[in-house]
Amino acid sequence: MNQDLLAALVPALPLAGAIILASLRRKLSANAAGGLATALIVGAFAASVLLFLGFDAAQGGRTVKLLDWVRLAGMDIPLALRIDALSLTMMFIVTGVGALIHLYSIGYMHADERAATFFAQLNLFTFAMLLLVMGSNFLVTFIGWEGVGLCSYLLIGFWYRTPEYNYAARKAFVMNRIGDVGMVLAMVLLFQRFGTLEYDAIMDRASGVNDPLMVAATLFLFLGATGKSAQIPLFTWLPDAMAGPTPVSALIHAATMVTAGIFLTVRSSALFELAPFTQDIILWVGTATALLAASIGLFQNDIKKVLAYSTVSQLGYMFVALGLGSYSAAMFHVTTHAFFKALLFLGAGSVIHALGGEQDIRRMGGLKAPVRTTYITFLIGTIAIAGLPLMSGFFSKDLIMAFAFQRSPVLFALLLAGALMTAFYMFRLLFLVFHGSYRGKAHPHESPLTMTVPLMVLSVLSVAGGLLNLPHLFGGHEAMKHFLETAAEGIRYESLELSAMTEIVLMALTTVLVGVVIYIAHGRFAVKATLEGDEAAMPFLKRLVARRWRVDELYRALFERPFGWLSTNLHAIAENRVVAPLVRGVGDAALRVGETVRGLQTGNAGFHLLAMLCGLILLLTFTLMGG
């Protein structure tokens, strides 16, 4: 099949699904809507596979021009798709993991009366995400960027009858818009300098280390990335986004949307290599985010909130890799994280489904036998994210930490602390949910095959995902790195110069310490099932962390309440007492003038002739006086 047609089909299939499902949402059953939506995403995945099979990395990427889009005042921006190693990698994640999540959703949403609308929004989100990763220029990417933001708002607030869910959707929308300002400003600066927004042209012409414009443009790009990828200070929306159905959490907030910032940075790596100052900012913001989110995860009791803060923390590790200039390590962790975090979110959804909607882990326990398939797959995901040897997370996270050690042992120690916290809160979650005795009131039951089959597939990927970029130390050839370096110039500058012995020692140290942490967690939560008491009775520091470092309260005090107060008073004073009376006064005056003038329209021909004569006399008088 023609490669250009295949490229166009990848985003076109989910877009067609969104249109069809939205049009027929009142007529289609949940199973029919889910089956159609899933089939179209599978079709997009198949088209991506065919594109990959026909792709020659040695020749670099190719651009598929769909149509001329913007031609205005020297601006020539086509609607075009970029097919290269980076976009293909993201296409596999979006369509592959997305297809499994769509299949899972058939079982999860089967009883929802608005299931067809849900699947239409999932398909629309997938289309927008594909447009984001396949765009050949910043503007096409930005259209997809805004599209996933809109779909995220719709899906987070899908159960809109609950007020706090609507609040969470608005919060996500507003925080993403703050980041989007940075994206727009970056595009303005880049177009001003290069006269184009095409990635290839900009990356080829970019030059000048620490050029003020490059520093400003990359800082603005990073601001956009912090919004989508939930980094400090724009990270608080993602945990609240757990208000949406669990498949939404898996698709948007684990495998796709939150990786958009990492994708954008890797796509623009040639620019970031010219801005070491920006790279340092990225490095330390990522480190702070990884540690802050991991610490919050230690005391969360909502099963989805634990995974949400875990996502924020793992995204921090990816940004650390970007700040270190290790773009392939960031993309490797994006890929493995998509596997095991989607697995964990879907596993959490299976638990919630088994318990009739219960999400508090303090009311769970002893589920290992009733939901055995879910338990085994969740265990695999937990081991993978903890980074135990030979699992996918082991290879990707340890690669980031090796680059960190090369930069600074202090940085390595900080990331190691984050990794140990990750292992602790994840095994705390595993033990409290599946081990011990059952503490709830529902009657647990295993989920249907539509939900468990995706868990099994993701389990295999979570185990074998490390083979994608297996290091030389384990007999591999770093295949993913060599594949991606044909698309991202920054990857060509990567260099890990640690000796094999140093790498082995670092891996052994990390593994031993993670093992100790798991042993401690087992004693506290599997053997004794230690449950946290009332937050008010906790020591100050522990209570502060459990309350998410009071960041939300800080933002409410600094931004939400002042703007709310300003809005209320502007409405009460400026609008009700000034603008509204002024508008009404102008309208009343116009009516009075109209009434007065209308009285002059008598219909008497003699009166009109006299008025015309008076007008002529006045006109001649003014003309003569002017002369």
On whether the CB atoms of residues 185 and 192 are closer than 8 A, the answer is no
Using DSSP's 3-state secondary structure scheme, residue 561 falls into helix
On whether the CB atoms of residues 308 and 339 are closer than 8 A, the answer is no
Q: What is the dihedral of CA 109, 445, 368, 432, to 10 degrees?
A: 60
Rounded Cα distance, 337 and 311, in Å = 9
Q: Write out the two tokens for 237.
A: 């929306």
pLDDT tens digits along 503-545: 999 999 999 999 999 999 999 998 887 777 666 677 888 888 8
Nearest to 105 by CA among 52, 41, 48, 31: 31
- CB count within 10 Å of CB 308 equals 25
pLDDT reported for residue 534: 67
Q: 264 to each of 134, 322, 608, how far by Cα in Å?
A: 11, 11, 73
Q: Write out the two tokens for 238.
A: 């993602």
Cis bond upstream, residue 233 (ω within 30): yes
Four-residue CA torsion sign, 7, 8, 11, 14 = negative
pLDDT reported for residue 440: 83
On whether the CB atoms of residues 13 and 73 are closer than 8 A, the answer is no
pLDDT reported for residue 1: 62
Nearest to 386 by CA among 352, 420, 356: 420
Helix (H), strand (E) at residue 16:
helix 3-23
Rounded Cα distance, 620 and 585, in Å = 36
On whether the CB atoms of residues 272 and 490 are closer than 8 A, the answer is yes
Residue 529: how many CA atoms within 13 Å on its side-chain side? 14
Nearest to 343 by CA among 245, 431, 453: 453
Buried residues in 395-418 as b, exposed as e (16+ CB within 10 A): bbbbbbbbbbbbeeeebbebbbeb
Strands (E) across 572-617 are located at: none
Using DSSP's 3-state secondary structure scheme, residue 198 falls into strand
Nearest to 302 by CA among 351, 250, 340: 351
> How far does CA 544 lie from the centroid of its chain?
27
The radius of gyration of the chain from alpha carbons, rounded to an integer in Å, stands at 29
Rounded Cα distance, 429 and 298, in Å = 9
Angle at 47 between CA 248 and CA 98, to 5 degrees: 10
Q: 428 to each of 171, 248, 377, 464, how far by Cα in Å?
A: 29, 24, 16, 25
Rounded Cα distance, 452 and 492, in Å = 41
The amino acid present at 24, given as its one-letter code, is L
Rounded Cα distance, 604 and 612, in Å = 13
Residue holding tokens 């697995």? 343
Nearest to 333 by CA among 310, 312, 314, 308: 314
Rounded Cα distance, 74 and 174, in Å = 33
Four-residue CA torsion sign, 389, 395, 397, 398 = positive
Rounded Cα distance, 147 and 38, in Å = 20
Rounded Cα distance, 382 and 310, in Å = 11
On whether the CB atoms of residues 203 and 489 are closer than 8 A, the answer is yes
Q: Write out the two tokens for 178.
A: 């703050």
On whether the CB atoms of residues 546 and 538 are closer than 8 A, the answer is yes
pLDDT tens digits along 316-346: 999 999 999 999 999 999 999 999 999 999 9
Helix (H), strand (E) at residue 43:
helix 30-53
Stated pTM of the model: 0.90
- Given a cut of 50, the residues of the chain with pLDDT beneath it are none
What residues form DSSP beta bridges with 78? Answer: 68
Rounded Cα distance, 578 and 230, in Å = 41
- Plot region of 422 (φ>0 → left; ψ -120 to 50 → alpha; else → beta): alpha
